[in-house]
Amino acid sequence: MHPYQKDASDLLSRLRKIEGQARGVQKMIQDDRYCVDILAQISSMKAALSKVELALLESHTRGCVAEAIRGDGGEEKINELMRVIRAGMK
């Protein structure tokens, strides 16, 4: 089991909310709602996704990466982690 499973119910509830917001934004477009109100919803969705991203990244680092470092030195896992961080920061 991957280390994020200890937070699974929290992650799932955040993602259900994001899924609901994606549906809500579609409804806002169909209802011709004001652009800036839609943009606020999208900004909230991005912030919510960043929280899920950081939670997964943290449990990945504490779990898989730390384990690999203690095992084979972690060269490969750290390369992979850096690619993820690079993608998330740009």
Q: Which residues contact 10 (CB under 8 A, 6 or more apart)?
A: 55
Task: Give the span between the Cα atoms of 59 and 49, in whole angstroms.
Answer: 16
Residues 24-43 that bind a second copy (CB under 8 A): 25-26, 29-30, 32-36, 38-39, 42-43
Q: Does 19 bind a second copy (CB under 8 A)?
A: yes
Q: Does 72 bind a second copy (CB under 8 A)?
A: no
Task: Give the span between the Cα atoms of 76 and 15, in whole angstroms.
Answer: 29
Burial profile 26-36: b = 16 or more Cβ within 10 angstroms, e = fewer: eebeeeeeeee
Applying CB under 8 A, the residues found at the interface with a second copy are: 1-5, 8, 11-12, 15-16, 18-19, 22-23, 25-26, 29-30, 32-36, 38-39, 42-43, 45-46, 49-50, 52-54, 56-64, 66, 69-70, 73-74, 78, 80-82, 84-90
